Amino acid sequence: MGFLVERMNFLQNSIQYSLLSKSGFMCLLLDYHNIKALIYTLCRLCNIKPLPGSNRLLKHLSAHGVPMALASNSPRGNIESKISYHLGWKDYFSVIVGGDEVIAGKPSPEIFLKAAKRLITEPSSCLVIEDSIPGVTAGKAAGMEVVAVPSVPKQAHFYTSADEVINSLLDLQPEKWGLPPFQDWIEGTLPTEPWYIGGPVIKGFGRGSKVLGIPTANLSTEGHSNLLSEHPSGVYFGWAGLSTRAVYKMVMSIGWNPYFNNAEKTIEPWLLHEFNEDFYGEELRLIIVGYIRPEVNFPSLESLIAKIHEDREIAERALDLPLYSKHKDDPYLKSSLHMECNHS
C-alpha cells in the first residue's frame, strides 16, 4: 500500500509508501459465508497499526494542502477496508488505485504510473517511498525517485537501487524532495507519544562499561515484542525509575547496534547518573518521551563513543524543557511493575 503527493508550486514531488505493515493484513483463503471467518477478518483489519510516523506524515502533508493518492497491489476494496479503521485517512487521499485496476502489479511500474496520471502529475515529479524491493524496482522503472524504508531489519544492503534508504518514516526529511519540512523537532529531538516499558535490570554484553565506558542498564526484550515492533530501532530518551532509588534522566538505544552487529534486538538504557555499584535485578521502569536519531553504523569505536556522548548531551538538555520534564512525576516511574500493562 502506498500514497502519492502531487507537486504544488514549491512542492516538487509525489510520494508512494506502504503505510500499513505487511503483517497487518493476511491473505486468507476463507469462506466469507462463514460468519466466524468474517468476524476474524474484521478484527484483523481493526487491529492494523500504521507504521511509525505514518500519521505524522499524512497530517503534515494534508495541512499543507498536498493532494495524495493511495496505491497497492491489493484489490481496491481491501485498501478501502484497511484505511477505514484509521481516523481521517479516507479524507487524505484524492486518488486510490488497487491491484485489480492494473494488468500487472509491482515490480511493474503500471500502478505507480496510473496513480500519477490520476493526480495529473508527471512521473518524473514523483517520489516513491517503498518498503519492498519489488516496489523500489517499480518506482525506478516508472522514472520516479525512490526512498526505501526496508520492511525487514538489517536488509538495507538489498535496496541499493533506491535513491535513499531510511530507517523509518521518523527519519524522512521532506525538504530533501521539495516538500515542506517538518516543524516539530525541538532542540534536536522529536517529541513522541509517551510509551512505557519496564523489567528487572539484566546483564548485557559486558561492553557498555568495559569497551565503551558507558554503563547501560539493559532490559530483557522478553514479553515486549509487540511494543518493540511498534517502535523503530534508534536512539530515544526519557525518564527512568529504579524501584529502590530515584528517577533519573535516560537516553537509550533500541535495535541491533550495527557496529557490534547484534543478532537480536536489544533495549539498552543509559541512566544519566554516576552510580557507585551495579544494580542487576532491580526493577527499572522507563517512560520514553522523544526520539533523537536512527541507528547507524560507525567507522570506528571512537566515533561511536563520541556520538553516544552527543546523544547524552541532547537528551540532558531536552529533558529540562517543560514539554519533557513534566513526565518525571509520572506515577509509573515509582510504582510497582504491575502497572506496566496498563500503559503498554
Catalytic residues: 268
Pairing of strands 127-130, 15-16: parallel
CA–CA separation, 100 and 111 (whole Å): 10
Name which of 154, 151, 149, 147 is nearest 259 in CA terms: 154
Helix, strand, or coil here: 102?
A: coil
Burial of 86 (0-12, 13-18, 19+ CB in 10 A): middle
Please give the Cα distance from 21 to 3 (Å, whole number): 14
| Amino acid at the residue 106 | K
Q: What is d(CA 207, CA 37) in angstroms, rounded to the nearest whole number?
A: 50
Longest Cα pair distance anywhere in the chain, in angstroms? 67
The candidate with the shortest Cα–Cα distance to 81, out of 36, 119, 44, 126, is 44
